[in-house]
Amino acid sequence: MALSLSACGESSQLYPASKEDGVFFSVPKNWKGLSFAALSKFEKKSAENPEESRESLVKWQVAYSTDTKVKVSSVFTLKPPSSPLIFARVRDLTAEETNDFSYNSLRNVIVPVTQLADGAELGVPDFEILSDREVVEKGARGVQTIYRFSIDGEQQTFNQTALMSNDRTTIYILIGRCLSKCYQKNKKAIEEIVSTFTVEGAK
């Protein structure tokens, strides 16, 4: 669900939100959106065993890009996008995750950040953490980590916020990323979107 709010005239922003999960953020209205349905359909088709995959725990997800021809497949690959890409997801934790999840687990939701930071090459010799800070919201807490690394000679930058609900049952993720040169060019826009990420928690 995405709302376009207006006060004096038409708003220049969209407000993607899941009321049920108490999460929302804002994104420029001219960015191309990929819906929960489109993303979920792609994941189910790609999963080897959809019934047992973590994708089945996803409650809400959306993506946005400045690329009007962005494909759903680009959201689910680590290949660096050449245009800014924003991805938001809310999913339930498994029983095991509820017991074991830590801030490091949140850092590692997409990339094994902690292993790479400890010096494990894993084929990524240029990995670098640019920023890492705690984030506390009304309904969740976790970390925002900004990092960069190269794949096949192309470096990309991730701005990743990963939070766990206060009752430790749900994670909320917002990621902004693209080629590092693209990120630098669009840094202000990406950081403005990330700064609006708000988690009030399930109603």
- Rounded to 5, what percent of the chain is helix, strand, coil? 25, 40, 35
The pTM for the full model equals: 0.91
In tens, the pLDDT along 4-13 reads 444 445 689 9
In tens, the pLDDT along 171-200 reads 999 999 999 999 999 999 999 999 999 999
Beta bridge partners of 146: 131, 159
CATH of the domain at 56: 3.40.1000.10
What pLDDT does 3 receive?
52
Domain containing residue 115? 2-199
What's the domain count of the chain?
1
Q: Which residues make Cβ contacts (< 8 Å) with residue 48, sequence separation at least 6?
A: none
What pLDDT does 77 receive?
95
